[in-house]
Structure 1
């Protein structure tokens, strides 16, 4: 939270663990498969290529947006494996939809708060989505607003640590991805499809801007506990 406030002022400071000149790691964490049997990771091909071309070391994390508790550990394992014995300058998590929830749970509950520098959510139902209530346990139900997972995820400070938090969404998104505490809410992207938004060039541009420490939108610092699920639903274009 403190880190993003500094970045808005153009004063991004590396964390104590940062090693200038080391790997700038970006972990791409997908949501649910758009069609059963397909790979949501495929949607990240263009973003992967763009970030790799800019010198980032990209790691694709094989989550499926089904069991969000288990997939939080998948994120942790991916970060642990990529950083073990490596010279690391920075760590960023880019999560789409349910993938952003597993990534944030890793930050809050599994030690990620001590190692992550930047957290970028894309189309994320941070306070849950009613659609999750119609899915089975282990198959997306964790995203229902009344589940223990969502309640735990949003108890206390939503944006802990010295981490830059960003939210990217489309204007027709069913949820707005807001968090309490310090967060940059990027200007919503018009006419972007939720399922394929990580492949949209405009979303990729905003992701690059966030990784570079630029808040292309509004930096907000809502009080802890001030957000309810009802406030986040059907947000509209603003």
Structure 2
């Protein structure tokens, strides 16, 4: 699949529309907007602020939801990524925490740092959450790189005993071809003689197909049989490709392809974290005893549901 002019135009339009999109913590807490645009608007109006409801360090988990939820963004930040899901989780009674990790030359955009460095920052943040809330385990919800990097935490930083549920949204667990552009990008770096140097400092570059880092990430649920893994992917993903890279295999895994639940959901990579079907399935994964089917709707890339 090629990244077409249609995708580029949609992204440019989404950025332009974001300035006029309803946003702000109070508004989001009252009625979350199921659109990637609301996250962009939140970044414009309150740059690099925690998403609504997140990081209340006085929050103590209730018996119904004993594990605090840690939200981990991809090549973005927590303001943009979790503007929808965070207030929904808080309204459902969860203690929610998020952080922007792995920043570098792209300013407020995180997940840029090498995977081991980002994983150490995530480990430190999880330790802080556990200490503040007095719990032994957290639930992880990660998008894109934020769904893949925690496997490094599990494998190499002693994270297995600290995690109960692990939910990965559109994560490049087995590498990503970036809709076919990864090979071209790699060939350009090879021609310039800088491929290895770039890969050493660029976290997203370390999940290219065939990268040695993928072996270190080792996305094998068997390493943690007591963790409940859930993956959620979209067939229309243009970044974590093929979309099956976001799936896992094991008895402690549930894989969800959005279009199997809702054929009219055209969510792509970025809208996924604000997609109403995804949000419902995250809630179901965190609280399976009270799970209910997601309401199907027509969901457009970047924009969200046509009516809600």
- How far, CA to CA, are the matches of 2:280 and 2:136 in structure 1? 22
Aligned match of 2:249 in 164, 171, 180? 180
Q: Separation in 1 of the partners of 2:173 and 2:165? A: 16
- Counterpart of 1:62 (choices 80, 92, 100) is 100
Deviates more, 1:50-59 or 1:138-147: 138-147
**Corresponding position: 1:97 with 2:144:** yes
Q: Aligned to 1:45, which of 79, 83, 95?
A: 83
CA distance in 1, matches of 2:234, 2:163: 25
Question: Alpha carbons of 1:89 and 1:209: their partners in 2 closer, same or farther (altered >3 Å)?
Answer: farther
CA contact (8 A) 2:111 2:145 kept: yes
Higher percent of residues as strand: 1
Mapped partners of 1:210, 1:74: distance in 2: 25
In the alignment, what sits opposite 2:271? 196
- Aligned alpha-carbon RMSD (Å): 2.6
Matches within 5 A, 1:97-136: 97-131=144-178, 134=185, 136=198
For residues 133 and 160 of structure 2, the distance between their equivalents in structure 1, rounded to whole angstroms, comes to 19
Q: Quick check: 2:69–2:94 contact (8 Å CA) kept in 1?
A: yes
Name the CA distance, whole Å, in 1 between partners of 2:282 and 2:221: 24
1:152 Cα deviation (Å)?
A: 1.9
Change (3 A) 1:159 1:210: farther
CA distance in 2, matches of 1:40, 1:24: 20
* TM value normalised by structure 2: 0.57
Q: Deviations over 1:150-179 (max 9, x none)?
A: 012227655523100000011213222122
Question: In structure 2, how many angstroms separate the alpha carbons of the residues matched to 1:216 and 1:68?
Answer: 35
Contact 1:117–1:162 at 8 Å: present in 2 too? Answer: yes
CA deviation map 1:19-56 (0-9, x unaligned): 973853101101002xxxxx353221110000011111
Q: Give the Cα separation in 1 of the matches to 2:78 and 2:150.
A: 16
- Is contact 2:235-2:257 (8 Å) kept? no
- Measure the CA separation in 1 of the matches of 2:213 and 2:166: 19
SS at match of 1:166: strand
> Which residue in 1 is equivalent to 2:42?
none
**Cα offset for 1:181?**
2.1
What's the CA shift for 1:149?
1.4
Structure 1 contact 30–95 (Cα < 8 Å) conserved: yes
- TM-score (norm. length: structure 1): 0.72
| Partners of 1:113 and 1:81 in 2: CA distance | 16
Deviation at 1:145, TM superposition (A): 2.1
